[in-house]
Structure 1
Amino acid sequence: MILEAVMLQVKRGMEEEYEEAFRKASNIISSMKGYRSHELQRCMEVKGKYLLLVKWESLEDHTVGFRKSSEYQEWKQQLHHFYDPFPTVEHFERVSIED
């Protein structure tokens, strides 16, 4: 399992519209192969700042399966115009802390 983490900055004054668009777009990502879960967190200190966390079965499920799909084009159309600057996507894997 991998974790996709994205820090998002939404254009000023568009926060409510973005959250509603994100709710609607959530069914797109949740229908994809390898998708496990996702959540959107709103920053308490910085207006318009959000953290998106998505769990995928594999890196390729996100980078190939989702990103190269027609569903991604719909996701992009619904959400990408809200971001300024455009976010950087990073992927993480769990570090075992047990002996």
Structure 2
Amino acid sequence: MSKVLVWISIVMLAIYVVKTQYLASKTWEPFRDGCIAGGGTEVQCNCLSDYVHERFSDNEVTSIMRMEKGDSAFETKVEQTIMAGTLACQTSGQ
């Protein structure tokens, strides 16, 4: 029985390490911090950061934060996503 518990512990530790080191977004907190610096509340910026990260990859969020110009379709998608996210985070009571 103790061997089973040891193996379960090892598997859970491995899952935790993979999740925290490889699956966590590297841009979520910097995006949120930039939002707060722009005048948003912490709750609104947490909501907006979640909203944006559900729709864009980390690489895309990095280019958004650097204000890199992409094609016009991407710029339009960014503008629409930010506007929709801002409205969703205001109206959802967050």
TM-score (norm 2): 0.30
- Would you tell me which structure has more helix in proportion to its own residues? 2
Name which structure has the greater RCO, CA cutoff 8 Å, separation 6+. Answer: 1
Q: Which has the larger radius of gyration?
A: 2
- Would you tell me which structure has more strand in proportion to its own residues? 1
